[in-house]
Amino acid sequence: MDEAMLLSILLQTAYASTPLLLSSTGEILSERAGIVNIGLEGIMLLSGFVGVVVGQETLNPLLGILAGIGAGALVGLIHGMITAYMKGDHVISGLGINLFALGFVPYGIYAVWGVRGYFNPSDQAKVPKVFGVSPIFIASLVLVPLIYYILFKTRFGLSLRACGEDPHSADASGVRVERMQLLASVIGASFSGLAGVFMSLDWLTTITKDLPAGRGFIALAIVNFANWNPLLGLLGSYVFGFSWVAIEWLKISALKQVIPVTLLNTIPYLVTLAVTAGALGRSRPPKYAGVPYKKE
Amino acid sequence: MPPEKEVAIEMVNISKVYPDGVLALDKVSLTIYKGEIHGILGENGAGKTTLMRILYGNIKPTGGKIKVFGKEVSFGSSKDAIKIGIGMVHQHPSLVPVFTALENIYLGLPSNFKEQVSLKELIERTGIKVPLEERIEDVSLGIAQKVEILKVLYRGAEILILDEPTTNMTVEEVKEFFSTLRNLKKMGKTIIFISHKLKEVLDITDNITVLRRGKVSGSLPTSQATPEELAKLMVGREVFLKLEKQGSRPGEKILRVEDLWVKRNDGSWAVKGVSFEVRYGEIFGIAGVEGNGQSELIEAITGLRRAERGKVFFKGENVTNAHPLKLYTMGLAHIPEDRQKTGLILDMSVAENSILGIHRKRDFLRPMMIFNENKIKEHVERLIQQYEIVVSKINAPARSLSGGNQQKVVVGREFSKTPDLIIASQPTRGLDVGATEYIRSLLLKMRNNGKAVLLMSSDIDEVMGLSDRVAVIYEGEFMGISETSSVSEKEIGMMMGGYKMGEIGIK
Amino acid sequence: MSLQLKLGERYKEILFSISEVALATLIGIGISAILIKAGGYSPTSAFFYLFKGAFGNLYGLYTSLSYSTPLMLTGLAFALSVRAGLFNIGAEGQVYIAALGAIIAASLALPSYLYLLAEFAIGIGLAVMWSLFAGILKVWKGVNEVVSTIMLNWIAYWVTEYSRSNIFYDPLSPDRTIRIPITGRLPILVENTQLYSGIFISLIVVIVTYVILWKTALGYEIRAVGLSPSASKYAGIKYSLVALEAFALSGLFAGIAGVMETIGRPPTYAIVTSLTNLVNLGFNGITVSLIGRNNPIGIIPASIFIGGLMAGATSMQIFAGVPLEMVQAVQGIIVMVLALPGIIRLIKSKIRRR
């Protein structure tokens, strides 16, 4: 294997891992505050779509990225209102997000561009490379340690984690639990939003209803695997991300004689199943993650 | 009272009617002076906690006035109370278990917070020494209480409300704790000490207000109070009724526990080599401060938790780590400690709860595991009648019942199994006097009929009043087992605080 | 008198549920109207044709009922899991894999009278096995069932798609699998409509499940585990066994749905490219279950409602030009609103406070 190929595999792995990394990091933040959002898949899809719409209309990829993040934040706001303030069921609300996105995005693709199935943004709308690599990929590498630092080294992070561990005590100590949870939900979801635009405007540069292809749920598995720690999430995301690269790799290798190409598509999901089954047992979720906090 | 004393708190005619019409407080008035330790004494349900939560801004009163340092106040939430220097330490400390003491002290401080004294100085002045870098989940409840007090003081509290602070402390810890309180008093802090423990209130307070059924039944300086007087004000009768008890005629062994070792959920040892036996015709009591392994011990015996080492024999058969169902069919019944989480399924109906654990009994089933609803109806109606359960209809969810009636459903169901051994954990906790006495009399009747009772309770009066023999558990070990008639409450109390029976001179 | 009281309160409760669902639906329709408008279409004509296509004439009604046939079962699959405290969203993949099972049966050389039996046996068997994968991972390894069932859905998708394109493809029409032999099909109920006799099977399964849940010790244990794991342990109920039972039953229901869609719905009687004739049947079951308040009886009208949306979507697309996926988005909004506990009570208390 030559250097160029190794570099290419590395870069491919990095790109395949970036959406997982962003999405799982956001969810770690959110769950640390007690808000579980299983609608990551839907958020990625919605944001990916919104990003392409705005990017394509304005031919300004930056606006596209911001719109995608904004769409994620909006969904996080709604989810946070439902769960933190109105004490709704976290899982059901998340399911609703996924169902909505699954219907809204194909509808939107047709409504906006009059095509069925998929739309590819034009080159001016695509995110340009910085030093030959994706700026969102670079941002992800900055954001993860930043989130780690905020969560574990700041007063704000202390208050945030208290909401997920023991909201009653947090409340009694003067933390505004619901506001904090809403904020965490908004920030967490905007990370998945960024993951969505990364895919639609940067890495894959297309929008279809299968854009996330289960990545939102794999990100959930990574949260678990990483024991709610963003630095471990980095590791997890790259392990899972590599499984996608492996497909492409295997498709051109000799193995395709043995395993047909269509079946290779199952690899990321099999890896996720195998790793979560093997790695669990030692992780400890925030105690009140997903439990509606009710004041006495 | 010397007239020069400054009044810290004045509560005038405070009333509280809950939305369901319950009158929790009826025109309660009290005055607390600056720099005193003021005891609020009363039984469970007398209204102590409600009154203090009103003072702390948690609950809004239905009527009355509150003045703090001469100024009338009206609190929207406890945040307002904190602002003017009132701090409350709840029975279960409001601390995040996985955070260190230090992190908990700093948690949630407003961004514009200015410390009056540095934490270090505060620790020196008050003499409250706590391991600041340890996680709360790794320290004892006594230490956690102290962390909480430190936290409240650090935020500038001048008035401290302590709600039953000694519930989970050993004798030694209480002693140390009281010297801390005296220190705080010297610093000029005002302390409100809520308790139902006569001795402690007599020991530490300057003035006492006694509540009974939402009213002030008495208010007096501690120097003029006697235990008998206070008890009378508290319960409204001269002495505690001693339960009628005939002499025991213990028979054969029914339960034998040999060197049992049990772990907590976190993997630490909860029970370290406990052995005892229970005989037909006796009540065997296990006393101890909560959290000393008694819950895990009972769970291990009843098949709800794994015993790591040791053996349990029931009716001569080795039933170590047996499935609960097997134990039930062999004649064991279990009134669990937590009726709401374990004994009942609150969202199921009373009828469904009445067959919990016996739902596969042939009496209740038709072929194909279909329920025989007539039989179930008969069963639950019999329980309702026999145990005087107040319930609107048998299909009402158990959640809608009062605590006492919920417990009666559990007790009735367990007795309906006609067991030979009943294991009762904290059977009367949180219940009113009527329900308490009724349940106690049932346990006694069981014993008088020649059956066996294993009673676990942290209420000394209950254990001493009911048991024929009593064991005291401390940090997972039995400090001693004795005939109840040959130990005093004081000796039991010492064993609960970690003294072995040998050390205090009982044979 | 007590009977009257009981009935009265029961009615009140049902009315309450209905008004909650109605409100959620109104919100769903309201928001989607805005989205339809924003897409440059007419909301009134969209909803007019949606309703007309669903319930406006007999043909529409039959189509709606035909879609309610699998939805009743996938809804039931989700509802039963929720009752056991599990968020099993694997019906989607179990439908695929059951359909594949039916096609496998069809590919075998069997006496003609055995096809129906073989289709159900293989399809259901595969679906139950698929569901039990997630169950075993949950019980033995503590793997979150939301994650595992989604992964299994994707694996099922690719396995089925692979089998369609590489093994069981029809040489005459490679975009779909071989067709179910005539003797292996479920009879059509009304000629020239899609309503096939499977709806009776669905109704029977729903009613039997209702009886199991509320009238038998098995159902009692399932509900007990869902409501209070600690109390059910105390009651001697084996959690892992009950959880596996719940997974198996869910797989069974989804399996019947997958088989029936393949062997019952005219005119295809096969699996088509990208499984488009199966996609979303499982996910829509989640909406059905939530609208039906996770109660088997409630699931019957709920499945007809969502079946109506699916049926009406086509007419909405043809006559109002609105892409049919919009109805999926409406469902998402409805589900999000239904995540709120006692929304009517919430609104009432807000109003009273003012």
CA quadruple B262, B268, B273, B278: dihedral, nearest 10: -40
- How many helices (H) and strands (E) chain B has is answered by 16, 20
Band the pLDDT of A1: cuts 50, 70, 90.
Answer: low
Residue A254 scores a pLDDT above 60: yes
Residue B240 scores a pLDDT above 50: no
Instruction: Report the range of poorest mean pLDDT among B126-140, B203-217, C252-266, C332-346.
Output: C332-346
Band the pLDDT of C348: cuts 50, 70, 90.
Answer: low
B497 at interface of C, judged by CB pairs closer than 8 A: no
A162 at interface of B, judged by CB pairs closer than 8 A: yes
C-alpha closest to that of C253 among C195, C198, C310, C308: C198
C-alpha span between C60 and C56 (Å, rounded): 6
pLDDT at residue B42, as a whole number: 81
Smallest CA–CA distance, residue B480 to chain A, in Å, is 38
C-alpha span between B440 and B458 (Å, rounded): 14
C243, C132 contact by CB (below 8 A): no
Q: Region A102-131: what's the mean pLDDT?
A: 94
Nearest to A214 among C154, C329, C339 (CB): C154
Which domains, and CATH codes, for chain B? Answer: 7-235 (3.40.50.300), 241-331+419-507 (3.40.50.300), 345-417 (no CATH)
Instruction: Report the range of poorest mean pLDDT among A224-233, A270-279, B227-236, C96-105.
Output: B227-236
C-alpha closest to that of C103 among C260, C282, C262: C262
Q: How large is the C-alpha radius of gyration of chain A?
A: 19
Q: Is residue A49 part of a domain?
A: yes
B93, B145 contact by CB (below 8 A): yes
Task: Return the number of other C-beta atoms located less than 10 Å from residue B122's C-beta.
Answer: 17
Q: Is residue A290 part of a domain?
A: no
C-alpha span between B250 and B469 (Å, rounded): 10
A159 alpha-carbon distance from chain centroid? 24
C-alpha span between B266 and A284 (Å, rounded): 12
What does pTM read for this prediction? Answer: 0.88
Which tokens belong to B343? Answer: 């004994």
Q: Helices B403-415 & B433-448, crossing angle to 10 degrees?
A: 10
Higher pLDDT, C85 or A259: C85
In sequence order, the 6+-apart residues with CB closer than 8 A to the CB of B26 are: B15, B214, B215
Residue C3 scores a pLDDT above 60: no
Q: Which residues of A touch B94 (CB under 8 A)?
A: 168-169, 172-173
CB contact under 8 A, C146 and A106: no
H or E element, residue B89:
strand B86-89
B11, B30 contact by CB (below 8 A): yes
CA angle B504, B505, B506 (to 5 degrees): 105
A184, A243 contact by CB (below 8 A): no
User: Peptide bond before C267: cis, by omega within 30 degrees of 0?
Assistant: yes
Q: Which residues of A touch C290 (CB under 8 A)?
A: 92
Listed ranges A62-66, B384-388, B490-494; the one with the highest mean pLDDT = A62-66
C-alpha span between C47 and C36 (Å, rounded): 10
Q: Is residue A12 part of a domain?
A: no
- C118-148 pLDDT, tens per residue? 999 999 999 999 999 999 999 998 888 999 9
Higher pLDDT, C16 or B242: C16
- Mean pLDDT across chain A, nearest whole number? 92
CB contact under 8 A, A269 and C89: no
Residue B283 scores a pLDDT above 90: yes
CB contact under 8 A, B359 and C220: yes
pLDDT at residue B286, as a whole number: 95
Nearest to C236 among B324, B369, B393 (CB): B324
pLDDT at residue C5, as a whole number: 45
In chain C, the number of structural domains is 1
- Residue ranges making up the domain that contains C236: 70-297
- C145-202 pLDDT, tens per residue? 999 999 999 999 999 999 999 999 999 998 999 999 999 999 999 999 999 999 999 9
pLDDT at residue B241, as a whole number: 44
Smallest CA–CA distance, residue A28 to chain C, in Å, is 16
- Mean pLDDT across chain C, nearest whole number? 92
C-alpha closest to that of C248 among C138, C156, C117: C138
C-alpha closest to that of A20 among A237, A246, A254, A262: A237
pLDDT at residue B96, as a whole number: 94
pLDDT at residue C127, as a whole number: 98
Q: Region C102-115: what's the mean pLDDT?
A: 95
Please report where in the chains the tokens 């769903």 appear, as a residue.
C28
Nearest to C328 among A95, A102, A266 (CB): A102
- C270-313 pLDDT, tens per residue? 999 999 999 999 999 999 999 999 999 999 999 999 999 999 99
Strand pairing of B332-335 and B317-318? unpaired
**DSSP state at residue B500:** -
Band the pLDDT of C341: cuts 50, 70, 90.
Answer: confident
In chain A, the number of structural domains is 1
Q: Region A261-278: what's the mean pLDDT?
A: 88
pLDDT at residue A222, as a whole number: 93
pLDDT at residue B507, as a whole number: 47
Q: Is residue A62 part of a domain?
A: yes
Q: Region A12-23: what's the mean pLDDT?
A: 96
Q: Which residues of C66-76 are buried (b: 16+ CB within 10 A; e: fewer)?
A: bbbbbbbbbbb
Nearest to B96 among A155, A166, A296 (CB): A166
pLDDT at residue C253, as a whole number: 98
CB contact under 8 A, A173 and B98: no
- B67-126 pLDDT, tens per residue? 999 899 988 888 888 888 999 998 778 899 999 999 999 998 888 888 888 899 999 888
Q: Is residue C62 part of a domain?
A: no
C-alpha span between A137 and A129 (Å, rounded): 10
CB contact under 8 A, C235 and B347: no
Please report where in the chains the tokens 């039963």 appear, as a residue.
C80
> What pairs with residue B162 in β-bridges?
B89, B193
Burial class (CB in 10 A: 0-12, 13-18, 19+), C110: middle
C-alpha span between A96 and A98 (Å, rounded): 5
pLDDT at residue B141, as a whole number: 76
C-alpha span between B455 and B243 (Å, rounded): 16
Instruction: Report the range of poorest mean pLDDT among B384-393, B445-454, C83-92.
Output: B384-393
pLDDT at residue B366, as a whole number: 92
C184, C263 contact by CB (below 8 A): yes
Strand pairing of B307-314 and B317-318? antiparallel
Q: Is residue C41 part of a domain?
A: no
CB contact under 8 A, A158 and B99: yes
Q: Is residue A243 part of a domain?
A: no
Q: Region B457-466: what's the mean pLDDT?
A: 83
pLDDT at residue B245, as a whole number: 67
Q: Is residue A112 part of a domain?
A: yes
pLDDT at residue A225, as a whole number: 87
Q: Closest chain A residue to C159 measured between Cα atoms?
A: A263
CB contact under 8 A, B347 and C227: yes
A155 at interface of B, judged by CB pairs closer than 8 A: yes
List C-alpha distances in Å: B201 to A6, B218, C310: 76, 14, 71
C-alpha span between B447 and B452 (Å, rounded): 6
C-alpha span between B219 and B234 (Å, rounded): 11
Residue B189 scores a pLDDT above 90: yes
Q: Is residue C64 part of a domain?
A: no
Residue B490 scores a pLDDT above 80: no
Q: Is residue A4 part of a domain?
A: no
Smallest CA–CA distance, residue C234 to chain A, in Å, is 23
Q: Is residue C52 part of a domain?
A: no
Q: Is residue A172 part of a domain?
A: yes
Q: Region B427-445: what's the mean pLDDT?
A: 83
CB contact under 8 A, C236 and B325: yes
C14 at interface of A, judged by CB pairs closer than 8 A: no
pLDDT at residue C192, as a whole number: 92
pLDDT at residue A282, as a whole number: 60
pLDDT at residue A2, as a whole number: 76
Higher pLDDT, A184 or C340: A184
Chain C neighbours (≥3 Cβ pairs under 8 A) are A, B
pLDDT at residue B83, as a whole number: 87
Band the pLDDT of A51: cuts 50, 70, 90.
Answer: very high
Sign of the dihedral through C-alpha C325, C326, C328, C332: positive
Q: Which residues of B258-297 are buried (b: 16+ CB within 10 A; e: fewer)?
A: bebbbbeeeeebbbeebebbbbbbbbbbbbbbeebbbbbb
Residue A72 scores a pLDDT above 80: yes
C44 alpha-carbon distance from chain centroid? 28
pLDDT at residue B20, as a whole number: 61
C-alpha closest to that of B151 among B91, B193, B109: B109
Give the whole-number percent of chain B exceeding pLDDT 70: 94
C-alpha span between A268 and A242 (Å, rounded): 9
Q: What is the DSSP string of C93-160?
A: HHHHHHHHHHHHHHHS---GGGHHHHHHHHHHHHHHHHHHHHHHHHHHH---HHHHHHHHHHHHHHHH
Q: Closest chain C residue to A109 measured between Cα atoms?
A: C323
pLDDT at residue C353, as a whole number: 52
CB contact under 8 A, A97 and C144: no
C-alpha span between B134 and B103 (Å, rounded): 10
pLDDT at residue B272, as a whole number: 94
Using DSSP's 3-state secondary structure scheme, residue B441 falls into helix
Q: Region B402-424: what's the mean pLDDT?
A: 92
B322 at interface of C, judged by CB pairs closer than 8 A: no
Smallest CA–CA distance, residue C165 to chain A, in Å, is 9
Nearest to C326 among A42, A95, A107 (CB): A107
C-alpha closest to that of A29 among A149, A132, A136: A149
Task: Return the number of other C-beta atoms located less than 10 Å from residue C82's C-beta.
Answer: 20
Band the pLDDT of A41: cuts 50, 70, 90.
Answer: very high
Which tokens belong to B503? Answer: 């050390």
Residue C2 scores a pLDDT above 70: no
Please, where are the H alpha helices in B61-195?
A: 78-83, 101-106, 119-126, 141-154, 171-186
Q: Is residue C108 part of a domain?
A: yes
Q: What is the DSSP string of chain A?
A: --HHHHHHHHHHHHHHHHHHHHHHHHHHHHHHTT---TTHHHHHHHHHHHHHHHHHHHT-HHHHHHHHHHHHHHHHHHHHIIIIIS---HHHHHHHHHHHHHHHHHHHHHHHHS-SSEE---GGGSPPPBTTB-HHHHHHHHHHHHHHHHHHHSHHHHHHHHHHH-HHHHHHTT--HHHHHHHHHHHHHHHHHHHHHIIIIIIS--EETTSSTTHHHHHHHHHHHTTT-HHHHHHHHHHHHHHHHHHHHHHHSGGGGTS-HHHHTTHHHHHHHHHHHHHTTS----TTTTPPP---
Chain A neighbours (≥3 Cβ pairs under 8 A) are B, C
Residue B238 scores a pLDDT above 70: no
Residue type, B384: I
pLDDT at residue B335, as a whole number: 96
